[in-house]
Amino acid sequence: MFWRFFSFFVCQLAGGLAGWYVAPPKTAAIGALVGVVLGGAGWLLIDLSRAVRLLRWLRVGDASDVAMSTGLWGEVSDRARRLIRAREQMTRDSQNRLQDFLAALQASPNGVVLLDSEGRIEWFNQMAATHFGFDAQRDILQHFGNLVRDPGFASYFANHDFLSELVMSGRENTPARPVKLSVHLHPYGEGRLLLLSRDITALEQAEAMRRDFVANVSHEIRTPLTVLAGFVETLQSLPLTDQEREHYLTLMAQQADRMQILVNDLLTLSRLEGSPPPGASDAVSMPALMRQLEQEGRALSAVLNPTSERLHKLVFDSLLEGEITGAPNELLSAMSNLVGNAIRYTPPGGEIHVRTLLLPDARAEFSVSDTGPGIAPEHIPRLTERFYRVDRSRSRDTGGTGLGLAIVKHVSQRHGAELKIESTPGKGATFTIIFPASRVRPRLDTMPGGQLGAAALLPAPSQ
C-alpha cells in the first residue's frame, strides 16, 4: 500500500514539476497544478489498465499464467492463482475418488444401478448391463421400469417396500435354461435408489436339487418302512403259524436290507463329496481287483437266477498287469457298481464282458459291456444323477438304489478319470472308465509294443 501511495505522489510530483517547467513563468503555478492533475490521472490510467488485465485473466486466463507479478494487482493475481490451483487440486482429488468408487463398483460381482428419484437410470456397472441387457450409451436416463418389463418388479417398485429382495427371471431366461436374478432396492440420498442385482441361478438350482434329494430320500426310505410297519402290525395282531411267521420275517429282513443298502449308498456319496481327492500313496492291483469283481459278479448272477438254469455268461479280460493309484475301496465300489448293473439289467443267459486295458498313450481303461436292453440316448446324459432310473421296477426288484452311477461318476471324477456311457437300445450298453496316465502304474514288461511311455517312469508295481 505504501508503494501505491508513494508512486501516486511521485507521478503527481513529476507531473507538477513538468507543468511548472513547461509553463511560461507567469502561469507556472497553474502549469504545476495541471501537471499534478495529469500526473495523478496518468497513474490512475496505468492502474486501471492493470486492473482490467487482471480481470480479463480472471475471466479467461490460465491459472498457470501469472497475470502480473508486482504491486497490489500482482499480489491479488498471485492469491487468485493460488486459490484457483487449490480448487483445481480439490476437484482433481474428488474426481479421482469418484473414479476409484466407480472402479470398485465395476469390480463388484453384483449388478449395481443408481436410480434418481423418478426411477431413471443414472449409472450402472458392467454386471448390471449383463443382467438386464443395458447399453451404456442408449439407456442412461431411461426409466428402469421401461427397460425391465417384469410385472413382479413393477409392483415391487410401486409398493416402495424395499425391506426384502425380489426374485425375477433374467433377460436370457428360457424354459430349458432358467436364469434367476435377485434384485434389491436400497433408498439413499434424497429419494434416490441403489439397485443391487445378483445371478442366483446356480443357487436356485442347488436349492431345487436339495429339495428333490430330500424328497427322493424320504420317498425311498418311506416305501420299505411302510412295508416293514405293515408286517410288524400283522405279526402283532394276527395269530400266525410258525411257517407264516418265518415268511413274514424273511420279507421284513429284505426290506431292512434295502434300507441299509440305501443308507450305505447315501453315506458313500456324502463321504465322496466331503473329502479331498485321493492321493497317489495308495493303489489297487488291477488283476486282484478283477478277480474280486469276478467272484462277486458270479455270486450276484447266481442270486438273481436261483434256479441256475440260465446264468449270465461272464467274461473277464484282465489285460492291465499293473495298479491304479487312488482309494482302493472307492475304485472297488465304482467298478462293482458297473458290473452289478450289467448283471442286474441283462436278462439271464445274456453276456457280460469286463475288461481292463492299458492304452497306447499310457492311460488305462476299465470297461463293462453287456447284451442287455441298452439305454435310449435321451436318458444317457441323466443316468449319473442321483435317483435317476430308466427302468424303475427292474432297479427296485434287483435291489437298486438309483445311486450307483452317481457314485461311479464321483469316484471317476475324484481320480481324474472319465466315465463314458455308450449304448445301442435293444443290443446292450458299455460303461467305460478311462484313468489318466498319472494314475496308472503298469508293469514295465506289459507296456504296449514294449514302448516305454511316461508311465514307465513311475515306480514298478508292488504285486
Q: Which stretch binds ligand ADP (CB under 6 A): 97-105, 155-163, 218-226, 387-395?
A: 387-395
Q: Which stretch binds ligand ADP (CB under 6 A): 84-92, 291-299, 370-378, 441-449?
A: 370-378
CB of 407 to ligand ADP, least distance (A): 8
Contacts to ligand ADP from residues 327-356, by CB under 6 A: 337, 341-342, 345
Q: Which of 336, 356, 367, 401 binds ligand ADP (CB under 6 A)?
A: 401
Contacts to ligand ADP from residues 414-433, by CB under 6 A: 429
- Residues 379 and 429 sit within 8 Å (Cβ to Cβ): no
Residue closer to ligand ADP, measured from CB, 93 or 317: 317
CA nearest 62: which of 85, 89, 92, 87? 85
Q: Which of 335, 405, 433, 440 binds ligand ADP (CB under 6 A)?
A: 405
Residue closer to ligand ADP, measured from CB, 379 or 443: 379
Cβ neighbours of residue 292 closer than 8 Å, sequence gap 6 or more: 332, 336
Q: Which stretch binds ligand ADP (CB under 6 A): 2-10, 34-42, 191-199, 395-403?
A: 395-403
CB of 263 to ligand ADP, least distance (A): 14
Q: How many helices (H) and strands (E) does the chain have?
A: 12, 13
Residue closer to ligand ADP, measured from CB, 409 or 439: 409
Q: Which of 402, 442, 453, 461 binds ligand ADP (CB under 6 A)?
A: 402
Residue closer to ligand ADP, measured from CB, 245 or 353: 353
What CA–CA distance (Å, rounded) separates 448 from 430? Answer: 23
Residue closer to ligand ADP, measured from CB, 131 or 389: 389
Q: At what angle do helices 242-274 and 404-414 cross, to 10 degrees?
A: 30
- Residues 423 and 375 sit within 8 Å (Cβ to Cβ): yes
Q: Which stretch binds ligand ADP (CB under 6 A): 3-11, 241-249, 290-298, 402-410?
A: 402-410
Number of residues that bind ligand ADP (CB under 6 A): 22
CA nearest 324: which of 453, 237, 434? 434
What CA–CA distance (Å, rounded) separates 364 from 347? Answer: 29
Cell 463398483 maps to which residue?
Answer: 105
What CA–CA distance (Å, rounded) separates 245 from 248? Answer: 5
Q: At what angle do helices 71-107 and 28-60 cross, to 10 degrees?
A: 0
Residue closer to ligand ADP, measured from CB, 150 or 370: 370
Q: What is the residue type of 91?
A: T
Q: Which stretch binds ligand ADP (CB under 6 A): 35-43, 168-176, 249-257, 394-402?
A: 394-402
CB of 457 to ligand ADP, least distance (A): 37
Strand-by-strand arrangement of the 121-124 sheet: 121-124, 111-115, 192-199, 180-188, 166-169
CB of 352 to ligand ADP, least distance (A): 9
- Residues 235 and 248 sit within 8 Å (Cβ to Cβ): yes
Cell 436339495 maps to which residue?
Answer: 210
Alpha helices in 325-403 (DSSP H): 328-345, 392-397
Residue closer to ligand ADP, measured from CB, 326 or 372: 372
DSSP code of 274? H
Q: How many CA atoms lie within 13 A of 430 on its CB side?
A: 13
CB of 415 to ligand ADP, least distance (A): 18
Strand-by-strand arrangement of the 440-441 sheet: 283-285, 323-325, 440-441
Residue closer to ligand ADP, measured from CB, 66 or 376: 376
On the 0-12 / 13-18 / 19+ scale of CB atoms within 10 A, 385 is middle
What CA–CA distance (Å, rounded) separates 55 from 280? Answer: 83
Is there binding between residue 220 and ligand ADP (CB under 6 A)? no
Q: Which stretch binds ligand ADP (CB under 6 A): 31-39, 86-94, 102-110, 381-389?
A: 381-389
Residue closer to ligand ADP, measured from CB, 148 or 403: 403
Is there binding between residue 325 and ligand ADP (CB under 6 A)? no
Q: Is the dihedral of CA 25, 27, 29, 32 positive or negative?
A: negative
Is there binding between residue 61 and ligand ADP (CB under 6 A)? no
Residue closer to ligand ADP, measured from CB, 322 or 404: 404
What CA–CA distance (Å, rounded) separates 74 from 4? Answer: 12
Residue closer to ligand ADP, measured from CB, 268 or 395: 395
Q: Which of 389, 415, 439, 441 binds ligand ADP (CB under 6 A)?
A: 389
Site mask, ligand ADP, residues 111-140, x = CB under 6 A? ------------------------------
Q: Which of 375, 411, 419, 440 binds ligand ADP (CB under 6 A)?
A: 375
Is there binding between residue 412 and ligand ADP (CB under 6 A)? no
**Interaction site with ligand ADP (CB under 6 A):** 337, 341-342, 345, 370, 372-373, 375, 383, 388-391, 395, 400-406, 429
